[in-house]
Structure 1
């Protein structure tokens, strides 16, 4: 029995679509490599960059440009969208997931859309792409690869909306804690929330700028239908970006409120410390004076049996004088 794996190297899943029939076929992982190449209908290949054999398989796929292949096999962590020779390729932001949970960790999806094929690659499992796979398995109404690309970006938008709702719920809880009667001044959950909001806003602005620029390309430079799709996707992501920006501003204002409360508490402690210093300074001078090892100190002779009591009275008197002075100048 052969111990060599018969699976298509690097393929996570693949589908072959048949436009006009509203159906698709799952490409078996143990099928020959030729099964993933363009032919009847069009195909969607989703590959894992964690498999070292993936670049070799991508090199065998016809219809992709050298830049598109480089994008699919890169480890870029910056959003990008480019087009050349009727091929659209780039990197989109997404969110990673584990086997049993969805996370707020940002991941990256690399894609290339050409005539008859769409190829997506990733290093770690992602939220949106897995949801698109589930939608395709339930209802495979995709006439062209560019339509599937629109589904991927649309699902990313829905993932963003869900994440914004999660972050909003967390921020509401933090606000209730900070502005509540107890007035919590230390909220460890606010810092990661702010980082997530800032990164989302930055990446969204980049994707929006790229989509706007791509939508101004010539029709013969991009796949059919891409220009209209880019305009629609940009409008939809613009609305989400406004929500993310509003969330970022709320988190910033809440952080400033916490800083204000911390500053007020610090000032109160410094005020108390200053008062204690003012009260203890005169007694310190008195005890320092009587602690000098010099001759002729008052109340030091054998006849001064009440010297300690007199010195203590002077200490109390100096504290009283300090209290009167502080009251007179309005500090107390």
Structure 2
């Protein structure tokens, strides 16, 4: 039994988009190397970096510059967008996806787009890429060039961000209901993961937005066809969700301050009660300490009724402490 080595190692899927209204074709995973040579339309190759042969395949891919190969095979965890000689390549932020669920873990999508091909690589399954594939299966006629696929990838990331903002908003609503309830509760443990997630979302979103603005400002002769219009639309989308994420971050910060304020007030109330108890008990303690001395000539030591006089003196000392506290405005 012989094992057949695929022509495209690490291939997750491949689509051939044709010009006009003709639908795109999903190429088989065991396609031949000759299927990559298309004269009509463009290709989308999505590769899994877990296959160690991907780097060698990309190095031999036609019209793929070495910096783009490095961007497609890197394991760096930071976003980047580079435009050079009418091609665009780099790394985008995405969210990982399990086989049966979606997560909030950050993932990284590496991409290269030219006039004839768009190549994407990843290490873990990602949300946005799978959603774009589903959109292509539903309506492939809207993708006329590789930049259209790139725009949809970033747009799906923005839609994912909106979904996460809604989820985090619901979590903050529940925390707020407990925080502003009459019963004091410490919700900092529930709030801390939400704040951490919001901060990470805002940091990565601001990075992508800055990169898109910088890419949109390069010379027109460096841009692939259609990138200028796509970048303008994407910047508007990212700015809108950036405003929502920033507002959510501020809301979480204010809620944390409110929790700290309530806890501080509760602590001060407990200290106030303890201070009053100390103030009331200190004079009787002085009286009992005085009469507890083993010295001669103590008052009320001779005769009957000494204990009653001592208790009366303790009561008078408590009343005197109460009067002084009222006079000072503490009570």
Q: TM-score, normalised by structure 1?
A: 0.90
Instruction: Please state whether the residue corresponding to 2:266 is helix, strand or coil.
Output: helix
Cα–Cα, structure 1 residues 9 and 309, in superposed 2: closer, same or farther, change >3 Å? Answer: farther
Equivalent pairs, count: 330
Q: Which residue of 2 aligns with 1:22?
A: 22
Question: Does 2:222 align with 1:221?
Answer: yes
Q: Which residue of 1 aligns with 2:275?
A: 274
Cα–Cα, structure 1 residues 70 and 289, in superposed 2: closer, same or farther, change >3 Å? Answer: farther
Q: Which residue of 2 aligns with 1:324?
A: 323
Partners of 1:212 and 1:263 in 2: how far apart? Answer: 44
Cα-Cα RMSD: 2.4
What is the 5 A alignment of 1:278-297? 278-292=279-293, 294-296=294-296
Gaps of 5+ in 2: none
Partners of 1:37 and 1:254 in 2: how far apart? Answer: 57
Question: Does 2:198 align with 1:197?
Answer: yes
CA deviations on 1:38-77 (whole Å, 9 max, x unpaired) are: 6653211112223333222222222222221111112222
CA deviations on 1:257-285 (whole Å, 9 max, x unpaired) are: 11111111111111111111112222333
Distance apart, 1:187 and its partner CA? 4.7
Partners of 1:323 and 1:270 in 2: how far apart? Answer: 18
Q: TM-score, normalised by structure 2?
A: 0.90
CA contact (8 A) 1:63 1:114 kept: no
Instruction: Please state whether the residue corresponding to 1:46 is helix, strand or coil.
Output: strand
Partners of 2:147 and 2:14 in 1: how far apart? Answer: 16
Cα–Cα, structure 1 residues 321 and 136, in superposed 2: closer, same or farther, change >3 Å? Answer: same
Q: Which residue of 1 aligns with 2:147?
A: 146
Cα–Cα, structure 1 residues 241 and 289, in superposed 2: closer, same or farther, change >3 Å? Answer: same
Instruction: Please state whether the residue corresponding to 1:189 is helix, strand or coil.
Output: helix
CA contact (8 A) 1:37 1:61 kept: no
Q: Which residue of 1 aligns with 2:173?
A: 172
Partners of 1:38 and 1:197 in 2: how far apart? Answer: 44
Q: Which residue of 2 aligns with 1:96?
A: 96
Partners of 2:272 and 2:307 in 1: how far apart? Answer: 32
Instruction: Please state whether the residue corresponding to 1:44 is helix, strand or coil.
Output: strand
Partners of 1:5 and 1:162 in 2: how far apart? Answer: 40
Q: Which residue of 1 aligns with 2:259?
A: 258
Distance apart, 1:128 and its partner CA? 1.0
Distance apart, 1:133 and its partner CA? 0.6
CA deviations on 1:101-130 (whole Å, 9 max, x unpaired) are: 112222221111123111112222111111
Partners of 1:275 and 1:49 in 2: how far apart? Answer: 68
Distance apart, 1:231 and its partner CA? 1.3
With 194-203 and 310-319 compared, the bigger mean Cα shift is at: 310-319
Partners of 2:289 and 2:53 in 1: how far apart? Answer: 82
Gaps of 5+ in 1: none
Question: Does 2:82 align with 1:79?
Answer: no
Distance apart, 1:226 and its partner CA? 0.9
CA contact (8 A) 1:64 1:87 kept: no
Partners of 1:75 and 1:146 in 2: how far apart? Answer: 24
Distance apart, 1:230 and its partner CA? 0.9
CA contact (8 A) 1:185 1:258 kept: yes
CA contact (8 A) 1:215 1:228 kept: no
CA deviations on 1:150-189 (whole Å, 9 max, x unpaired) are: 1111112222222222222222222222223435442533
CA contact (8 A) 2:11 2:46 kept: yes
